[in-house]
Structure 1
Amino acid sequence: MSVLTGDSIRHTNVLSQVHRFHYSEMDAYIRRFLRDVMWTQATIRGPFFYSLLNVPMDEVLSVEFFMPVEQSDVAVPEGMQFHSYFAVEDMMTYCVHTNFETSTEAAYKILLDEAEHRQLHQVTPFFHVFSGDRSLPYLMIKIGVAEGSGQAG
């Protein structure tokens, strides 16, 4: 599988929540976020995705969960945000079809190596976009990239 360049994430009417937790609690926090989305009574449009906001050196993750919905006006609980528009442009994408947990680290390396090869630098956190269905789920791992060294001048 090769890396897709020139990709993006673009959605309207997006609910999001930021959480910090031990990596072993990821599934519980995803379920909690989806429960909170259901509480808003908004119609889910999807896809569910999240961004990894830190490098988890201490096994603690900072994650922002996202869910696009149909409604343009949603009452949200405390700690949840509503974005009328969410977009990240100039992304590179790698698709993972199996063993999401074990393949993710390899996908990160593939994306970062490809960015370096193209003389690009990472300008966003890693995004994980879930797609497919129960019979063929897959995970799109994405990063935003830009030309240059990535160092402020």
Structure 2
Amino acid sequence: MIVAENRSIKHRNIVSKLYSFVPAEIGIALEDFRGILEQHGVTPDGRLFFSMLSEPTADVMTAELFMGIEEGDITLPPEEEVMFRSYFEIRNLHTIRLMEDIDAQSQVAYWELAKHVDAGGYHQTTPVFVEYKQSPQGGTYVEMSVGAVR
């Protein structure tokens, strides 16, 4: 796997929410998040990524889920614990792209990023981000990134 350096994640109009779940149930968390947004009249636009806030080997994963929305501003009840950002940017990322067999390759990619950061003498500055993207041909691929500087 090839690690690209000096990458970034940039988005406008992003909402996020913290979740804890068994890794196999990330789809349930995503559907819950989407349901909260739709219940309050917020329109997800298809952009989706998350940050892993716990170790990937943990039985229960803590993650911040992010979704792009069509609206330029929203107000949700505080009990929904949804955060809105008009602009979101993370720089100095080291990134691996997974084009196929994403579930099986994600653990390999995680450890490859960790090895790259360690071997390069970098200091990790962000959690790991996993961003789902669409290819021009309509397929889904994933970019897994971690912020790191010397």
TM-score tier by shorter-chain length is: 0.7 to 0.9
Question: Within 1, Cα distance between the matches of 2:138 and 2:73?
Answer: 33
1:135: how far off?
4.8
Of 139, 145, 148, 1:145 maps to 148
Matched position secondary structure for 1:123: strand
- Cα pair distance change 1:58/1:44, threshold 3 Å: closer
Output one character per residue of 1:33-73: Cα deviation in whole Å (capped at 9) or x when no partner.
12223233334344200011011554101011001223221
Greater CA drift, 44-53 or 137-146: 44-53
> Counterpart of 2:49 in structure 1: which amino acid?
F
- For residues 46 and 5 of structure 2, the distance between their equivalents in structure 1, rounded to whole angstroms, comes to 22
**Pairs aligned (count):** 147
In the TM superposition, 1:73-92 aligns within 5 A as 73-77=73-77, 78-92=80-94
Report if aligned partners of 1:76, 1:82 keep a CA contact under 8 Å in 2.
no
| Runs of 5+ consecutive residues of structure 2 not aligned to the other structure | none
Q: 1:123 and 1:145 mapped to 2: Cα distance? A: 5
Question: 1:40 touches 1:74 (CA, 8 Å); kept in 2?
Answer: no
- What CA distance in whole angstroms lies between the structure 1 residues aligned with 2:46 and 2:97? 18
Paired amino acid for 1:127: F
Q: Which runs of 5+ in 1 are unaligned?
A: 148-153
Query: Once the two structures are aligned, what percentage of the paired residues are identical?
Result: 27
Partner of 1:123: 125
Kindly indicate whether the alpha-carbon contact (under 8 Å) linking 2:34 and 2:44 is maintained by their aligned counterparts in 1: no
Cα RMSD (Å): 1.9
Partner of 1:25: 25
CA contact (8 A) 1:95 1:141 kept: yes
Return the TM-score normalized by structure 2.
0.87
CA distance in 1, matches of 2:40, 2:145: 28
